[in-house]
């Protein structure tokens, strides 16, 4: 199926249940993104800063860009002027750096805290207790120009659906607890980003508000630099 058809089908599937679609366009050329854009898709996710910035420069300015990959503090400045949501915040140091550059750009930057839920060593993210520690800290209270919109998590890359379901269930339960304890009056704390192509249906059953889909929309990825595709 074409990119346009994939977007249309996913919109039908997700809009009625009020789940946001982040089209993950990493490694894909701008022409592919433009096709999805022409079908009405406006939210795109990238995991590399340089690739994100180059695509931002070439594509329509009403696209909402999400960073979904690990962000190094020294690269925050490149995306701070335009990024819509940084989904992958995994330390206080990074949050402080985002706040600093948000101030410089005279804006508030929305973020999600990435929580580690997978049974794998390679994934980034904060542990449950680290999230609580961060939200309780005095440093956090001083951050005027970042807004924590919710949490993001990546389940274990496995065929075991029961395990994936349990990981998403745990994150959703944690999300509700965090909302009650730290954001009770803050309506903006309302995003739970979980689910990729292989597991988004399970994620939605477990309360996801935002799914990040790449291969389901754009086809499989070859691991090489996007410009050489
Ligand atoms: C690549 C990526 C996705 C999309 O993966 P697909 O399996 O292609 O849907 C989602 N989330 C993150 C964090 C990613 O890096």
Residue whose Cα lies nearest atom 4 of ligand 1: it is: 214
CATH number of 68's domain: 3.20.20.10
224 part of a folded domain: no
Query: 207: domain range?
Result: 3-218
Q: Is residue 225 part of a domain?
A: no
Q: Does some domain include residue 40?
A: yes
Question: What's the CA angle centered on 133, arms 130 and 137, to 5 degrees?
Answer: 140
Give the position, in ligand 1's atom list, of the atom nearest the Cα of 213.
9
The tokens describing 92, both together, are: 């206080």
pLDDT in tens, 114-126: 999 998 876 689 9
The pTM assigned to this predicted structure is 0.96
pLDDT-derived band at 205, boundaries 50, 70, 90 = very high
Q: What is the pLDDT of residues 125-170, one digit of tens each?
A: 999 999 999 999 999 999 999 999 999 999 999 999 999 999 999 9
Expressed in angstroms, the distance from the first to the final Cα of the chain is: 19
Q: From the CA of 22, give the closest atom in ligand 1.
A: 10
Residues with beta carbon inside 6 Å of ligand 1? 24, 26, 47, 68-69, 154, 196-198, 212-216
Express each pLDDT in 9-56 by its tens digit. 999 999 999 999 999 999 999 999 999 999 999 999 999 999 999 999
Flag whether 68 is in a domain.
Answer: yes
């Amino acid at each position: 199926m074409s990119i346009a058809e994939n977007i249309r089908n996913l919109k039908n599937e997700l809009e009625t249940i009020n789940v946001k679609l982040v089209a993950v366009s990493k490694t894909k050329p701008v022409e592919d993104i433009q096709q999805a854009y022409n079908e009405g898709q406006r939210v795109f996710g990238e995991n590399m800063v340089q690739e994100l910035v180059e695509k931002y420069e070439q594509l329509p300015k009403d696209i909402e860009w999400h960073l979904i990959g690990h962000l190094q503090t020294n690269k925050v400045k490149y995306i701070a002027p335009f990024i819509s949501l940084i989904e992958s915040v995994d330390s206080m140091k990074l949050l402080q750096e985002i706040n600093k550059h948000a101030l410089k750009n005279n804006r508030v930057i929305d973020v999600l805290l990435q929580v580690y839920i997978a049974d794998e060593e390679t994934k980034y993210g904060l542990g449950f207790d680290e999230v609580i520690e961060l939200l309780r800290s005095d440093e956090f209270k001083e951050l005027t120009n970042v807004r924590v919109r919710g949490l993001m998590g990546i389940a274990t890359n496995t065929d075991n659906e029961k395990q994936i379901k349990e990981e998403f269930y745990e994150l959703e339960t944690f999300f509700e607890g965090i909302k009650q304890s730290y954001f009770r009056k803050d309506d903006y704390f309302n995003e739970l980003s979980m689910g990729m192509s292989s597991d988004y249906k399970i994620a939605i059953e477990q309360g996801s508000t935002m799914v990040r889909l790449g291969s389901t929309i754009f086809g499989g990825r070859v691991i090489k630099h996007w410009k050489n595709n």
